[in-house]
Amino acid sequence: MAGRLAILCPGQGAQHAAMFDMARTDPTACRVLEQWFEDPELGEVLAATRDDDARFTNRVAQPSIVAATLAMWAALEPGMPAPALVAGYSIGELSAYGVAGALDPLDTVKLALERARLMDACLDEGGPQAMVALSGLPRAELDALLTRFSFHPAIVTGDDSLVAGGPAAQREQLVQAAQAAGAKPTILPVSVASHTPLLQGAVEPFAALLRAQRWNMPAFPVLSGISAEPVHDAAKAIAELPRQIAEPILWRECMDALAEAGTTVALELGPGAALSRMLQARHPQIACRSVSEFRSLDGVRSWLDRNLT
pLDDT digits (tens, 9 = 90+) for 124-173: 777 899 999 999 999 999 999 999 999 999 999 999 999 999 999 999 99
SS3 (DSSP) at 267 = strand
pLDDT digits (tens, 9 = 90+) for 63-117: 999 999 999 999 999 989 999 999 999 999 999 999 999 999 999 999 999 999 9
User: What domains appear along the chain, each with residue ranges and CATH number?
Assistant: 5-122+196-308 (3.40.366.10), 129-187 (3.30.70.250)
Kindly report the average pLDDT of the chain as a whole number.
95
What percentage of residues in the chain have a pLDDT greater than 90? 91
Whole-model pTM: value is 0.95
pLDDT of residue 178: 97
pLDDT of residue 183: 96
* For residues 33-42, average pLDDT: 95
Distant-in-sequence, close-in-space partners of 306: CB < 8 Å, separation ≥ 6: none
Q: Dihedral of CA 285/291/292/293: which sign?
A: positive
pLDDT of residue 124: 76
Sheet containing 222-223, strands listed edge to edge, beginning at the edge strand earlier in sequence? 230-231, 222-223, 85-88, 5-9, 265-268, 287-290
* For residues 188-209, average pLDDT: 95
Distant-in-sequence, close-in-space partners of 288: CB < 8 Å, separation ≥ 6: 265, 266, 267, 268, 276, 277, 279, 280
Q: Alpha-carbon distance 137 to 141, whole Å?
A: 6
pLDDT of residue 191: 87
